[in-house]
Amino acid sequence: MSTRIDKVILGEGVQKYSSTKSILLRLKDIPVRKERDGSPEEVPDVSDEMKMDMGKDTVHLVSYQGEFLKPCPGTREYICCGYQILNVGTNCPLDCSYCILQAYFNRPNLRVHVNLEEELSQVFQTIDSEPDTIFRVGTGEFTDSLALDPVTRWSEIILPGFSKRKNAVLELKTKTANTRGLLESGYRDRIIVSWSLNSPFISRREEHRAASLTRRLECARECQSAGFTIGFHFDPLILHRDWMDEYKRTVDLMDKQIEPEGIIWISLGSFRFMPVLKPIIRRRHPETSVLDGEFVLGLDGKMRYFKPIRMELYSFLRELLNQWYPDLGVYLCMESDEVWQESMGWTPETSEGLCNYLDERVRKFFG
Amino acid sequence: MDINNITEIIPQPVVLSNIDDSPGPCCMSFGFDLNPLIQSIERVGLINPPLLKRDNQGSITIITGYRRIKALKSLKADRAECRVLSGDDILPIECLLLNLYDNLAVRKLNDVEKGMVLARLIPRIKTLEIMEHYMPLLGLPSNKATLSSYLRLEEEMGFRAKESISQGQLSFRNAMMLLDIDSISRSSIIDLISNIKLTVNQQRQVIDYTVDLSHIEGTSIFDILDEQSVKKINSDTRMNNPQKGRALIRYLRMRRYPSVSKAEREFKKMVSKLNLGKMVRIDHSPSFESPYYRLEVLFKDGPSLREKLENFMREDIDILTDPWKM
């Protein structure tokens, strides 16, 4: 994926940050303008112009005033993995039809939090204050972790601090092939590079601007060969014609490229979305088939596949992955105890149980 | 001109046939019932003189009083006392605002009319001012999403849809759902909504199900609604409209959610095999998402509860399971 940035907007007071200076240097041929007062004329709601590109070609440098480290907004109705989000920026240059970010943020543009470097000490202070807790931290929740890395060099900024901590791991989650920064860095310990995967059909039709499945797996192999621990996320699993054959093709591709013993975990999550996302997807991606399944209202207020359908999806993938290698750390994202038991054959029972399971994987891989 | 001085203009008789009463650039009336106004003019005459504009070529357009002129014309009146401005005296934006405030003073605008107002303001007034000042005047929240929706309604909806909205048959929110579908399909949904008089919630479901089905089955919404099964419900003389509405939703839902519907049917069948009596019920959670089922027992006192529970325990309750496991 090549970034197609054609505009840079400077938020208030960002010029003093070193990240701003280095980003502007890297984007020296791109027109830059200042944000004006944040008036409604200047910063339109995304919701009113669902056809618009959500500013996917505009980098907006802002000084983020909220908490940089926050727990993933799980719900008590389903079992949550206890992930922590490092909020480096919001919105994403990729344009996956199913992406929840289309409805999540009310402001457009690729918003880069340029005060990250200055605020990282606060983040590490939090981590250091709880030495007995393992912090599984990721940057890929509100944006793709690596899509903007050639511009932001987040990998340069974040990796050193995490690499030297014994009670944290950093997961960089991506659908891109932007691994050069990582590969050039000297940091490997406690860094996980992970790729979101899907069936070739979904990847081709729905994951616009993302790297091809083959390319993602080639990059994963390169990272693995270069000493990185890797992970995968089959999220969202989407029901479609010949889905079993299609997902099997993906696992076959993984088999060709990846050493399974170097995989720390693989998550499975079926497609779920806030009801408000549906008209946005219909409007922005009229050819999509991701909405074709039988979605019902989940206990968390999000739409999700009818329970037996989810169980079938997970059971199939679990079996497929298990046949490949029996110790892949496969887990379900935001599912109930019942679905866990029925489709995985065991259950962590609670969010705490799942946290313990994943923490154990961290200890196994990083000590 | 100082538009505060309008009332000082002395009304003069104007021949009604000389007035252009097609909905002009100031018009913000749609889907109205003229009869109350006609009756009022018949009983007490024209109380407020319309305000007209005569341009350099002598043609006369309406600034305020569009419906009054229409009512007078339908009463076959020859002429009426009107205030007349010269085209040079007043700017188009002033005409528009005069009409807006004239309307707002006496009535609430329907959603189509609000769209008309906003579409007419947009080329003349800054978006920010429209949002901050005029949208609250129209009783609308001040945000661009709402503004954009009303502008789309005005620009993209056909007459038939607007008519349904102004008559309250089609809700504004549901109308928005119709904007992205082709006009033939849109018309067939609106016809159905009008014929069966679907509730707002039913309208939303019909639109949602048919849009989904057209994507899934690769067919048009028109074709789905033109099928025999739908026509049969629509023309069934043994059912009243609420029954037809429910039957239609049931049919479309079954088609859109075959697995969920099948599970619901199987569950019902399973429970019906138990002799529970009238005071005992077993229900599943919405779409079976919760792992739990609910047993409800109505009883008068302890002994009657014991009796019901004992009867219940004698039933073959082991057959109860998730319907997809049967």
CB contact under 8 A, B145 and A296: no
pLDDT in tens, A172-198: 999 999 999 999 999 999 999 999 999
Predicted pLDDT of residue B24? 79
| Spatial separation of the C-alpha atoms in residues B23 and A67, rounded to whole Å | 55
Q: Give the three-class secondary structure for B62.
A: strand
pLDDT in tens, A256-284: 999 999 999 999 999 999 999 999 999 89
Nearest chain A residue to B126 by CA distance is A41
CB contact under 8 A, A297 and B287: yes
CA angle B96, B97, B103 (to 5 degrees): 95
Backbone angles phi, psi at B246, to 5 degrees: -65, -40
**Average pLDDT taken over every residue of chain B:** 92
pLDDT in tens, A57-103: 999 999 999 999 999 888 889 999 999 999 999 999 999 999 999 98
Query: B54, B55, B56, B66: which is closest to B27 by C-alpha?
Result: B66
Q: What is each CA distance from B219 to A284, A295, B178, B214, B224, in whole angstroms?
A: 20, 20, 17, 5, 7
Give the minimum alpha-carbon distance from A290 to chain B in angstroms, rounded to a whole number. Answer: 10
Which of the residues in chain A have pLDDT under 70?
1-3, 37-53
CB contact under 8 A, A307 and B286: no
CB contact under 8 A, A307 and B128: no
Backbone angles phi, psi at A295, to 5 degrees: -95, 135
Q: Which of B126, B216, B287 sits opposite A306 (nearest CB)?
A: B287
Is residue A296 less than 8 Å (CB to CB) from chain B?
yes
Q: Kind of pairing, strands A135-138 and A168-174?
A: parallel
Nearest chain B residue to A311 by CA distance is B324
- The answer to whether residues B52 and B85 touch, using CB atoms and an 8 Å cutoff, is yes
Best of A42, A97, A307 to substitute, by most chain B Cβ atoms within 10 angstroms, is A307
CA angle A288, A294, A295 (to 5 degrees): 85
Q: Does residue B275 have a pLDDT over 50?
A: yes
Backbone angles phi, psi at B267, to 5 degrees: -65, -45
pLDDT in tens, B80-115: 999 998 877 788 898 899 899 989 988 899 999 999
Query: B143, B171, B132, B138: which is closest to B28 by C-alpha?
Result: B138
- Which H or E run includes A183? helix A180-184
- The answer to whether residues A135 and A123 touch, using CB atoms and an 8 Å cutoff, is no
For A64-366, CATH gives: 3.80.30.30
> A282 to chain B: which residues are within 8 Å by CB?
180, 211
| Spatial separation of the C-alpha atoms in residues B205 and B201, rounded to whole Å | 6
> A283 to chain B: which residues are within 8 Å by CB?
180
How do the domains of chain B map onto residue ranges? 271-325
Q: Which of B126, B145, B211 sits opposite A47 (nearest CB)?
A: B145
Q: What are the CB-based long-range contacts (under 8 Å, 24+) for A261-264?
A: A261/A325, A261/A327, A262/A224, A262/A229, A262/A230, A263/A230, A263/A231, A263/A232, A263/A325, A263/A328, A263/A329, A264/A192, A264/A229, A264/A230, A264/A231, A264/A329, A264/A361, A264/A362, A264/A365
Is residue A309 less than 8 Å (CB to CB) from chain B?
yes
Q: What is the DSSP letter of A261?
A: G
Is residue A338 less than 8 Å (CB to CB) from chain B?
yes
